[in-house]
Structure 1
Amino acid sequence: MSFLQKLFGSAAKEPAAVPSLAGLGTDMHSHVLPGLDDGAETPEQSVALLRQLQELGYRKLVMTPHVMGDFYRNTPEGIRKALDALRATAAQAGITGLELDCAAEYYLDEWLGRKLEQKEPLLSFGGERRYVLFETSYINEPFNFAETVFNLQAAGYQPVLAHPERYTYLYGRFEELIRIRENGVLLQVNLNSLVGYYSAGAKRVAEKLIDAGLVDMVGSDAHNGKHLEHIRSKVLRSDYLPRLLSLPLLNSSL
């Protein structure tokens, strides 16, 4: 033991290791495909996001552009075409060891209802498990939520509700989230919700979902570099991330 250690005590402990997202394996919610929605606008922006996501530890991305009747009328064919182009761009940029795939984030609107009625195929992920990611209005409770869930299930899909912690119409109604999950809907929380990026309310609901063990998947919901930098600088150091990662999340099976 050195003189300074004798004088001031034993050396300070090494800082605790920052949790990694490598154990998740797959990010199943992002807006990295360029030019399709309010996410990446150019292939160059997409490549920058791919590099950031890989640095966070991800080995696979299921990119999920918005499908919304009034704004983003993306089709499975158009999304797959964008995926093929980005794969080529990523290879040219020297990005390796990162598997790229696609699905979609469907908005619960009349357009989605018509697709289900007409038996149009939806973009799912998870292979034969056929997970379909969907979202609702943040403010207004949809009148046809239960009907849409039933129709998705009847069509052979497994519904996954995107970021339930962000829907203000469910604030103060945690029992409704429990009921939704009991009715067969999986719940996906956004990483940035853990640190109040969207709102204090979203943070509280995300923590409550984690404490209750009701989170099935977690996503970056990355639209831009700011989202990913916030995950790197804030979320990786948050108290709730280890609790979240200790849950039996489905990400690594995708």
Structure 2
Amino acid sequence: MFSIFKTKHYLKDILPKNYIDIHNHLLPGIDDGARTVEETTALIADMKTLNIHKSIATPHTYSSKWNNTSEIIKAAYETAIEDNANRSFIKKYASEYMLDASLMEKIKNERLLCIDDHFLLIEFPLFSNPFNLYEMLFELKIRDYKIIIAHPERYLYLHDSIEKYEKLKDFGVYFQLNLLSLTGYYGRNIYKNSLQLLEKNMYDFTGSDIHSNAEINQFETTPLQIRTKSKLDQLLLNNSIFLK
């Protein structure tokens, strides 16, 4: 696959010292990630072997699938960190929020769970462009959230024009790359899109989006498909702001 790339680099070998993962699904039993505390503990053990030093847990909040509240997420976090090894690895909890009408109602009544310092992780629907996208982003911005768009390379309706990404960036949002996109894990089109965004320096942060052993195995066994490694090396350092 993608045989023009001569040098093989594996994600498990290139993460910088003290790398902190800001997008994962480690908290047990509340979304499509770890199902039990035992799975949480096993995933954390494996993530450490990948040179992931710490994490901020980001379970889904998505009204039609995972109706998580801040209280539910806090309870799952407290259950997870009863194990001392988990406690030292999971720095804090936040959420990956679906940008939709229910989120617009939620922000009227409560403060959302941020990764750190007002940074809020947001995902879009994978297949359908929200018709009022910028109105919703504006509502978040006026509430002093710094918006991080999770895995923008995966939204198929943005693939036809780099100008759509440039417009988002001009609006003042941040982009978070799913590292596995650069291995072809999500498919060829998403790989090509992630490579284009990386080479144009449009990403700000990175994340593993680890849900299960499937992603762990990909970190270990599938080489990156990138033309040069230097841009990724620099990008990987940006997450260090969340270690403070």
Relative distance call for 1:237 and 1:200 in structure 2 (3 A) is closer
Give distance in 2, aligned partners of 1:52 and 1:121: 33
1:208 aligned to 2:196? yes
Distance 2:223 2:240 in 1: 19
Task: Confirm or deny that 1:135 pairs with 2:126.
Answer: no
Secondary structure, in 3 states, of the residue corresponding to 2:120?
A: strand
TM score, norm. by length of structure 1: 0.85
Q: Return the offset for 1:119.
A: 3.6
Instruction: Flag the 1:108–1:237 CA change in 2: closer, same or farther, 3 A.
Output: closer
- Partners of 1:79 and 1:57 lie apart in 2 by 26
C-alpha separation in 2, matches of 1:95 and 1:122? 24
1:113 maps to 2:104: yes
What is the correspondence of 1:1-254 to structure 2 with a 5 Å cutoff? 19-23=13-17, 25-89=19-83, 91=84, 94=85, 98-116=89-107, 118-126=108-116, 128=117, 130-235=118-223, 242-247=230-235, 249-254=237-242
* Greater relative contact order, per chain length (Cα 8 Å cut-off, separation 6+): 2
Cα distance in 2, alignment partners of residues 161 and 17 from structure 1? 26
Q: Which runs of 5+ in 1 are unaligned?
A: 1-14
Q: Which amino acid aligns with 2:202?
A: L
Computing the radius of gyration over CA atoms, which structure comes out larger, 1 or 2? 1
Secondary structure at the residue paired with 2:81?
helix
SS of alignment partner, residue 37 of structure 1: coil
Deviation at 1:100, TM superposition (A): 2.9
| Deviation by residue 1:88-125 (Cα, 9 ceiling, x = unmatched) | 12x1xx56852432110101111101112x24110001
RMSD: 2.1
Partners in 2 of 1:23 and 1:172 — Cα distance? 36
Q: List gaps (5 residues or longer) in structure 2.
A: 1-6
User: Is the Cα–Cα contact under 8 Å of residues 107 and 135 in structure 1 kept in the other structure?
Assistant: yes
Mapped partners of 1:236, 1:203: distance in 2: 10
Sequence identity (%) = 32
The two structures have a TM-score, normalised by structure 2, of 0.89
State the number of aligned residues: 234
Alpha-carbon distance change, 252 to 45 in structure 1, aligned in 2, over 3 angstroms: same
